[in-house]
Structure 1
Amino acid sequence: MTSRTPLVIAASAGACALALGVTAPALADSDAAQDTSMVSVFHGIPGMTVDVYANGDELLSDFKPGTVTEPQSLDAGTYDIQIFEAGQGPDGTPALEKEVKVPEGATATVAAHLSADGEPRLTAFTDDVSQVDAGQARLTVRHVAAAPAVDVRAGGQPVFTGLTNPGEDTAAVDAGTVNADVVLAGTDTVAIGPADLDLKEGTSNVVYAWGSAEDKNLALATQTYSGMESMPNAVDAGGNGAAAAQNSSDQWLAWAAATGAVAVTGVLVARRVASRRA
C-alpha cells in the first residue's frame, strides 16, 4: 500500500486503526480477513507534532496538526497503535495508545484531538458516502475542540445547534457556497469564522472545529469526498485527494469576539439526515 500521504487510521463503533507506508498484512494479525476499509485520519491536537508507531515500528514522523489524510484501503485486522510527541518514541510515554481493530467494509475517519477539557483523545467517525440527490451536497460538522457546546450558523441562522465534543451533525443541502461561522450555543458570540464553504454538487463535506478555546487557537479543517451523485459507494478525496486544513489567523477569532450576521449564497438546508453523536 502506497500513498503520497502514507498514513491511515480506520475506526468503527469504538474501534479504530492507524497504519502508514507499509502493507497491511505486515502489521495485521495473521488471521485477519482480507476485506478492506477506506480510512483517513485527522490530526487536531494543536501544538503537538507527532510520531506514529504500529506494532513497535515507526510509521510516521513529524505529522503536523490541522492535517487530514486522504482515504486509503486497509485490510481488516488488529493493530497496536502508539502516538508519541515527535522525538519521544518508542521508549518514552505515548500521548495516545490503543490496541485497535480495523473492521471490514467501513469508510471512516479517526480524529486525534482534544476533549472538551483539553485532554488528547482518539475518536472514530463513520463517513457518510451514500448518494445525494441531484443539485445537492452533504455537510457534516464535527466538534473536536477543547470548547463548550456550539451552534453552527449560515446566514446568521443556526443550522446545527448544541453540538458538543466529540459530537457531529449532518444535513443534505443545496450545492453552492456557504459563508458560515461557529458560535457559543444559544448566543451570537463567535468562536470560529466566518469562513466560506464551497459545497459542490455530489460531494460529502466534513468540517472539523478543532483547537482550544482557552488558548484562542480554534480553527476549521475540511475534508471532502466526491462522486456521491453517481457512485454512492466511491471514496474520492477530491482535488489532489487531501483535505484542506483552514488554519489562517483570520479563522482564529477570540472565543469572546462578537459578529453580525453571515451571508449565505445559494444554499438552503434541504433536510436533516443524521443525529448528533455524544
Structure 2
Amino acid sequence: MNILRVFVAMLACTIVGATFVSAEAAPRAGQLMVVQAVPGLSVEVILDGRTVRQEAATAAVLGPFEVSPGSHVVRFADASGKVTMTSRVQVRPGASSDVVLHRPAAVGGDPVVHVYKTPGAPIGAGKARVLVAHTATVAPADVRVDGQTVFTNIANGEFATAEVPAGTHEVAMFPTGETTNPILGPLEFSLAPRTVTRVYAVGNPSSDSMELITSSKKLSSDGTVAPKRVDTGSAGLAGAPGATRSAPTGTSWAELLLGLRKYTAVGG
C-alpha cells in the first residue's frame, strides 16, 4: 500500500510539473494593426486567409489582432482587382507591428506595404513616445515639433522615433531644408503620458489630401521621474494653423527629445 501511495504521489508531481513547464514555455502572443493609408481607395483586408474587413476605407485602423509568434500573411485587394498586395510579417512574442498600405513618393505609383514595429519599451513618467512615418506622396521631408525641426530628410517609407513630454504638441511637415509653406499642418494633438503614438502622414499635397492617421498604445513605466518644466513655446500636433500654448520655462528640448532615431521600415 505504501509503495502504491508513493507511486501515485510521484506520478501526480510529474504531471503537475509537466503542466507547469508547458504553461511557462507557451510563447506570448504578438499583435498586428493594419492601416489603410491610400487616399480614395477601399480595400478588403485578409489576415492569414480570413477577411477582417470587407471594405477598409482611407484612414481605417484595424486591430489589434492577437496572433501567434512567427510568420503571418496580410493581403489587400480592391473590388476592381487592380490593387492586390500581399505582405508577409514576422511577429515576435509580445511585440506589436503596424502593417501600412500607402502610396509611394511617385505620383501615380502603385500602392506599397511597409511594416512598422511599435517601439514598446518602458518609458518614464510624464513622457510619451512618438513614431512618425512618411507614407505620403511627397519627396523627403522634415518634421517640426513645437516649431523645432526634430526629424530631417525622411523619405517615403522611412520613420523616426523620439520621446517628448506628455501633453499637447504642434507638428508640421515641410520639404527638406525649408521652414515655411508646410506640406502638412501645423496640426495639434495630445500625447498621453506613458503611451506610444504612431503617426502616419498620408496623401498628396497637390490634391489637398494630406492628413495624419494616428494610433496609440499604453506603455509600462521604466521608473524614472517626470520632467517638471519645459521650454516656453507653442504646443500642439493637429488643429488650426498658428494655434499656440505657452509652457513654463525650464528644461531644454535638447534634454527632453530623448533617443531621437531615424529608420527605414521593412517592406512588405
TM-score higher than 0.5 = yes
Aligned-residue RMSD, C-alpha: 2.8
> Mapping of 1:1-278 within 5 angstroms?
35-54=28-47, 58-85=51-78, 87-88=79-80, 92=81, 94-117=83-106, 118-187=109-178, 188-229=180-221, 263=244, 265-266=246-247, 269=253, 270-278=256-264
Contact 1:113 1:210 in 2 (8 A): yes
Q: How many residues align?
A: 217
Distance 1:56 1:131 in 2: 34
- What one-letter code is carried by the residue in structure 2 that aligns with 1:42? V
Gap change, CA 1:58 and 1:184, over 3 Å in 2:
same
Gap change, CA 1:101 and 1:184, over 3 Å in 2:
same
Which secondary structure does the structure 2 equivalent of 1:276 belong to?
A: strand
Distance 1:81 1:72 in 2: 12
Deviation at 1:99, TM superposition (A): 4.7
Which secondary structure does the structure 1 equivalent of 2:215 belong to?
A: strand
Gap change, CA 1:200 and 1:148, over 3 Å in 2:
same
Deviations 1:197-225 (A, max 9, x none): 20121111111101123333111111111
Deviation at 1:183, TM superposition (A): 1.3
Contact 2:169 2:190 in 1 (8 A): yes
Stretches of structure 1 lacking an aligned partner (at least 5 in a row): 1-32, 232-245, 252-258
- The structure with the greater share of residues assigned to helix is 2
Deviations 1:80-130 (A, max 9, x none): 543111x34xxx454212455444442111111111113311101110111
Identity of paired residues, percent? Answer: 24
Deviation at 1:196, TM superposition (A): 0.9
Distance 1:264 1:170 in 2: 24
Normalised by the length of structure 1, the TM-score is 0.68
Contact 1:141 1:206 in 2 (8 A): yes
Normalised by the length of structure 2, the TM-score is 0.71
Deviations 1:117-148 (A, max 9, x none): 13311101110111111111112211111111
- What one-letter code is carried by the residue in structure 1 that aligns with 2:77? F
- What one-letter code is carried by the residue in structure 1 that aligns with 2:187? A
Contact 1:207 1:221 in 2 (8 A): yes
Deviations 1:30-76 (A, max 9, x none): xxx96521121111011110012356554421111112224231123
- What one-letter code is carried by the residue in structure 2 that aligns with 1:160? F
Stretches of structure 2 lacking an aligned partner (at least 5 in a row): 1-25, 224-237
Distance 1:153 1:264 in 2: 16
- Look at both structures and tell me which one has the larger radius of gyration over its CA atoms: 2
Deviation at 1:170, TM superposition (A): 1.2
Distance 1:56 1:107 in 2: 20
